[in-house]
């Protein structure tokens, strides 16, 4: 069984979470490929897929939505897990419920495209200078938000372990061995699709 962990990252936070999930799956004996959604042409070599995206304005990045839409038929035939990387950890406790609603809104939109086993919202990194001067920075501060690294590695590891356990309970299709991906290389941006 080979699992794809695909990601769409804006500043690297989502990529690091995807790499962590892939490493955790690999540590549990799951053959895993981690790649940007830009570098995945087809899902044929993969028995299961984990897809994550950074969240901007309570939405996945356009290239992540395109990935789900473009591969909807293939995703419908595989177990799929989704994760979003947003800002719930940056918001002050009294208003955190509003930030957590972001996950529900995103999940509602994603289910229009793909049926996933589970969707998780994780906090990412919000470095200083993320918001340009003006209204967005003011809104960020008025909500009591703060800058920093809010990735909850134990929670991410726990989720990856749950995925590995779920995969362990599945019988892999006969044609899904690590050899399936030996000739499949992620496409670089310079190569034609």
Q: How many Å apart are CA 97 and CA 124, to the nearest integer?
A: 17
Greater confidence (64 vs 123) lies with 64
pLDDT of 12 higher than 50: yes
- Mean pLDDT over each residue of the chain, to the nearest integer: 80
* Model pLDDT, residue 95: 56
Q: What is the DSSP letter of 128?
A: T
Contacts of 54 (CB under 8 A, 6+ apart): 8, 9, 10, 11, 13, 14, 60, 61, 84, 85, 86, 124
pLDDT tens, position by position, 28-86: 999 999 999 999 999 999 999 999 999 887 789 999 999 999 999 999 999 999 999 98
Residue 96's pLDDT is: 54
pLDDT for res 131? 54
Residue in the block written with tokens 């990045």: 61
* Percent of the chain whose predicted confidence (pLDDT) is above 70: 68
pLDDT of 127: 62
As a whole number of angstroms, the longest Cα–Cα distance in the chain is: 56
For residue 181, is pLDDT > 60? Answer: no
Q: Taking residues 74-102, what's their average pLDDT?
A: 74
pLDDT at 44: 95
Q: Which of the residue ranges 7-21, 48-62, 92-106, 150-164 would you say has the lowest mean pLDDT?
A: 92-106
Are 170 and 79 within 8 A, CB to CB?
A: yes
What is the pLDDT averaged over residues 84-94?
67
pLDDT at 158 over 90: yes
Distance CA 133, CA 131 (A): 6
Say what the pLDDT of residue 150 is. Answer: 78
What is the third-level CATH fold of 2-171?
Rossmann fold (3.40.50)
The segment with the largest mean pLDDT, out of 89-93, 116-120, 136-140, 183-187, is: 116-120
| Gap between the Cα atoms of 141 and 28, Å rounded | 41
pLDDT at 123 over 90: no
């Amino acid at each position: 069984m080979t699992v794809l962990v695909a990601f769409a990252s804006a500043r690297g936070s989502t990529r690091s979470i995807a790499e962590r999930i892939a490493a955790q799956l690999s540590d549990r004996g799951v053959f895993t490929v981690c790649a940007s959604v830009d570098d995945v042409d087809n899902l044929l070599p993969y028995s299961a897929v984990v897809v994550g995206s950074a969240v901007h304005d309570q939405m996945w990045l356009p290239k992540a939505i395109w990935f789900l839409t473009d591969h909807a038929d293939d995703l419908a035939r595989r177990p799929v897990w989704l994760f979003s990387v947003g800002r719930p950890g940056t918001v002050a406790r009294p208003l955190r419920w509003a930030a957590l609603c972001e996950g529900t809104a995103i999940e509602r939109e994603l289910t229009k495209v793909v049926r996933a086993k589970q969707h998780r919202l994780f906090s990412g990194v919000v470095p200083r200078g993320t918001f340009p001067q003006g209204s967005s920075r003011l809104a960020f501060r008025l909500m009591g938000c703060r800058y920093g690294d809010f990735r909850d590695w134990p929670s991410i590891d726990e989720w990856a372990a749950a995925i590995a356990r779920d995969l362990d309970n599945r019988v892999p299709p006969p044609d899904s061995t690590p050899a399936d991906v030996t000739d499949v290389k992620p496409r670089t941006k310079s190569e034609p699709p």
